């Protein structure tokens, strides 16, 4: 594939892991961050503070000027946390041109609008000639930075854009598949973080692998039930962006959502747990939108609702598992495998 000019907006762990991978594949990569100290540190040391044992390619360009990361780029990667996607799109808008492909790797849903991240970007740019792609799947930055094998989904309504991103990112350790169910892929990416929180909370309470397996299985049922009510394809939820990403997020200590949940289960206050994790916990950010979506589409999501009740202080964490176990008994089998939770 022809080498490309790539701008990465965001210098967190995921943005830097992708920047390194794309640069090592021979692409020209420029990284921007709104946090000037991040750019200074990367420029001075050639290393990310979370990956001090990894020397980054010297060819990566670091900039504090967002126009430099946008103008003339074939691909723009939005790698900022979900609460900052709209603000970043607003800053970048004057420098984004027709035909550019924007790849969003943030996972979240905006609470006020209930937009997914590509919808937020589209709403801010208001340019139908920009091509939007959601890149999502079971991909811990801590493993991608070490070139450990993984697979991911490139989702877009524009088949050519999805295939371009597929070819660009299908290098080294990463295998990429395409999917045209953009909303389903993005819904999975946001809501799996909430289910991962539930698994962490259960572990913090002293529950075992059986509990985690039950929460993962019934959790993907909840996400799928909501997604199909929103017009998404059920098959998406059994794929990489769905059960694949949920499994890795709910079972790994690389997962900040899992770690935050463990602390909450151990009795640490939510704000203190987030502080101890030391990074954005997207599952907490996704909760308001998840509850609103469940209400809007009249979909029962007991695990999500229980996590929200615990995190909002309305339910003691010690009662969380009891609340789920004492629900009305139901059949697992129905016209759709995902109809009941």
Residues classed as catalytic:
192
The DSSP code sequence of 284-322 is HHHHHHHHHHHHHTT---HHHHHHHHHHTTSS-GGGHHH
If DSSP codes are grouped into helix, strand and coil, which group holds residue 58? Answer: coil
Sign of the Cα pseudo-torsion (36, 39, 43, 44, in order): positive
Residue whose entry in the numeric block shows the structure tokens 């603000």: 87
Q: What share of the chain is helix, strand, coil (3-state, %, to 5)?
A: 50, 15, 35
- How long, in residues, is the chain? 341
Residue whose entry in the numeric block shows the structure tokens 């998404």: 232
The DSSP code sequence of 86-138 is HHHHHHHGGG--TT-EEEE----B-TTT--BHHHHHHHHH--TTSEEEEEESS
If DSSP codes are grouped into helix, strand and coil, which group holds residue 109? Answer: strand
Residue 99: DSSP 8-state: T
Query: Which pair of tokens denotes residue 175?
Result: 């295998």
Residue 61: DSSP 8-state: E
């Amino acid at each position: 594939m022809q080498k490309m000019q790539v701008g990465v907006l965001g210098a967190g762990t995921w943005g830097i892991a992708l920047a390194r991978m794309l640069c090592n594949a021979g692409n020209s990569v420029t990284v921007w961050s709104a946090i000037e100290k991040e750019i200074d540190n990367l420029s001075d040391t050639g290393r990310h503070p979370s990956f001090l044992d990894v020397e980054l390619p010297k060819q990566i360009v670091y900039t504090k000027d967002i126009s430099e990361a946008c103008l003339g780029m074939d691909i723009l990667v939005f790698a900022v946390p979900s609460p900052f996607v709209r603000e970043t799109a607003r800053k970048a808008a004057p420098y984004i041109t027709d035909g550019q492909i924007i790849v969003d790797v943030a996972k979240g849903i905006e609470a006020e609008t209930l937009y997914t991240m590509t919808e937020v970007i589209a709403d801010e740019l208001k340019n139908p000639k920009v091509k939007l792609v959601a890149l999502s799947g079971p991909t811990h930055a801590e493993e991608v930075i070490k070139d450990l094998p993984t697979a991911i989904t490139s989702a877009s309504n524009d088949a050519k854009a999805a295939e371009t991103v597929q070819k660009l990112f299908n290098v080294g350790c990463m295998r990429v598949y395409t999917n045209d169910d953009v909303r389903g892929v993005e819904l999975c990416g946001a809501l799996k973080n909430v289910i991962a929180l539930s698994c962490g909370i259960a572990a913090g309470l002293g529950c075992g692998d059986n509990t985690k397996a039950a929460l993962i299985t019934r959790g993907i049922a909840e996400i799928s039930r909501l997604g199909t009510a929103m017009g998404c394809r059920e098959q998406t939820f059994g794929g990489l962006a769905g059960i694949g990403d949920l499994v890795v997020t709910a079972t790994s200590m690389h997962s900040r959502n899992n770690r935050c949940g463990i602390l909450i289960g151990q009795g640490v206050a939510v704000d203190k747990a987030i502080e101890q994790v030391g990074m954005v916990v997207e599952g907490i950010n996704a909760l308001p939108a998840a509850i609103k979506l469940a209400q809007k589409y009249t979909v029962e999501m007991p695990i999500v609702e229980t996590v929200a009740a615990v995190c909002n202080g309305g339910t003691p964490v010690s009662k969380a598992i009891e609340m789920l176990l004492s629900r009305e008994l139901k059949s697992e089998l129905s016209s759709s495998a995902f109809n009941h939770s």
